[in-house]
Structure 1
Amino acid sequence: MSRLNALRNRFVDAPDSLGAKARARRWSWFAECFPDLDRMNVIDLGGTAGAWLRAPVKPAHVHIVNLEKPPSDLPSWLRADVADACDLPASIRSGTYDLVFSNAVIEHVGGHQRRQIFADTVNALADRHWVQTPYRYFPVEPHFLFPGFQFLPLTARTEILRRWPLIHTPTSDREAARRIVMDVELLSVTEMRHYFPGSRIRFERLAGLVKSVIAYKRA
């Protein structure tokens, strides 16, 4: 492992990394916010089975919706379907859910109109929700681990992605790099309040600075 890859591991990927500690803290907040979680039917928009299998909390049932094909060997309390969270099929929209969960997805759905559709979907599926997203004005962009990355021109971001070794899945292909960069649009607090006007807002901080924003509603 190179020195820089070891640095990424230390900050994000390792079990004792800053990222792992932040995830554990968010799970703890989530459990405190919804103490009856073990009796809930949860729909996760954009999540993965692996995240729930590693999580320290376990709802009664979790229905995962993601664009990627799920693993076939899921436990009975997990269900996964391939679908677009902004264009759910009737079979999912007609389901009965106690809570909508979404972690770091809304910044990937593509533009204001689709973000609004995503938020409307969250509010339509259940009375309660927990939607987390990285904060646009945190100094280090969390997907690429590069200071101020989100404020640079598209061309600069594309070239950095092709060369920056702390990226999780680097690519030297310019077109692929550009698509990856354009897939991420970080949100401000004002935007989160706009999309979830009936929700409470909670801030996750690192070194006193807001790192991510959580919109949640207990019903």
Structure 2
Amino acid sequence: MSIKNRISDPGQPGSLAHRARARRWAELQKRFPALGEMRVLDLGGVPESWRLAPVRPVEVVTVNLDSRILSADEPGVTPLVGDACAPPVRLRAERFDLVYSNSLFEHVGGHANRLRLAETVHRMSGRHWIQTPNRYFPIEPHWVFPGFQFLPVRARAEVSRHWPFGNIRSASFASAVDDVAWVELLSATEMRQYFPDSEIWRERIAGLPKSLVAVCQGLKG
């Protein structure tokens, strides 16, 4: 197994990403024990990610801008092409048992779009599980580089062009600047602002919070 796969490949058993995914799934199942009976809206997800799920909901609808998801054939999963911040018209009158999102919130392009995404989450269900990497974890997860998120843009662009261990490898300096501009990691304070009635659960590695998850198990009272 390559160093890159040991770290960042969630489909590779034994990798750090695979173990982190397993811990998140265990927590998700604990929070939502009826997951197997739910209709789930996955914002920003792809059908293939549900192939590895230890529990398959009765129905999953994924919303992703990438039209290649339409070629996926995953039983029980309906892929739709669209903007997760403003889901396709056919979904707008629907309600789901759970809205789920994994590592999307940091990619939508600024505060205004994050507000729109949070509004979509609240509108589509009274329950949600919204995960995003923690800005203050020392290893940036997309480039797997220490302190990457705190470097100047030029330095991040150079890492994106030449660092071999991350999930993003830019072909040119211009594309590298674009790539790094699209990733904005969030803090717990920001997640609380978008999800004020949710618990912010911290997924930890070596005692440090690696990811932040806004969890709402249903409105009380």
TM-score (norm 2): 0.94
| Counterparts in 2 of 1:76 and 1:55: CA distance versus 1, 3 Å | closer
Residue in 1 that maps onto 2:195 = 196
Larger deviation: 63-72 or 145-154? 63-72
* Count of residue correspondences: 215
Residue in 1 that maps onto 2:166 = 167
* SS of corresponding position for 1:63: strand
Q: C-alpha distance in 2, partners of 1:76/1:10? A: 29
Q: C-alpha distance in 2, partners of 1:97/1:31? A: 17
1:7 Cα deviation after fit: 1.2
**Which amino acid is the alignment partner of residue 23 of structure 1?**
R
Q: C-alpha distance in 1, partners of 2:104/2:7? A: 21
Residue in 2 that maps onto 1:36 = 34
Q: After TM superposition, list the pairs within 5 Å mapping 1:16-165 onto structure 2.
A: 16-69=14-67, 70-165=69-164
Contact 2:48/2:72 (8 A) holds in 1: no
| Counterparts in 2 of 1:11 and 1:73: CA distance versus 1, 3 Å | closer
Contact 2:8/2:167 (8 A) holds in 1: no
**Percent identical residues:** 48
Residue in 1 that maps onto 2:4 = 8
Q: Which runs of 5+ in 2 are unaligned?
A: none
* SS of corresponding position for 2:71: coil
| Counterparts in 2 of 1:163 and 1:90: CA distance versus 1, 3 Å | same
Contact 2:85/2:113 (8 A) holds in 1: yes
* SS of corresponding position for 1:205: strand
- What stretches of structure 1 move > 6 A for 4+ residues in a row? none
Contact 1:163/1:172 (8 A) holds in 2: no
Contact 2:170/2:179 (8 A) holds in 1: no
Contact 1:141/1:148 (8 A) holds in 2: yes
Q: Which runs of 5+ in 1 are unaligned?
A: none
Q: C-alpha distance in 1, partners of 2:200/2:167? A: 29
Contact 2:85/2:116 (8 A) holds in 1: yes
TM-score (norm 1): 0.95
Contact 1:130/1:214 (8 A) holds in 2: yes
Q: C-alpha distance in 1, partners of 2:21/2:206? A: 16
Contact 1:130/1:217 (8 A) holds in 2: yes
Q: C-alpha distance in 1, partners of 2:202/2:159? A: 29
Larger deviation: 86-95 or 97-106? 86-95
**Which amino acid is the alignment partner of residue 203 of structure 1?**
R
Q: C-alpha distance in 2, partners of 1:77/1:105? A: 22
| Counterparts in 2 of 1:163 and 1:80: CA distance versus 1, 3 Å | same
1:178 correspondence with 2:142: no
1:30-55: per-residue Cα shift (whole Å, max 9, x none)? Answer: 11111111111000000111110111
* SS of corresponding position for 1:102: strand
- When the two chains are superposed, the root-mean-square deviation of aligned CA atoms in Å is 1.2
Contact 1:100/1:126 (8 A) holds in 2: yes
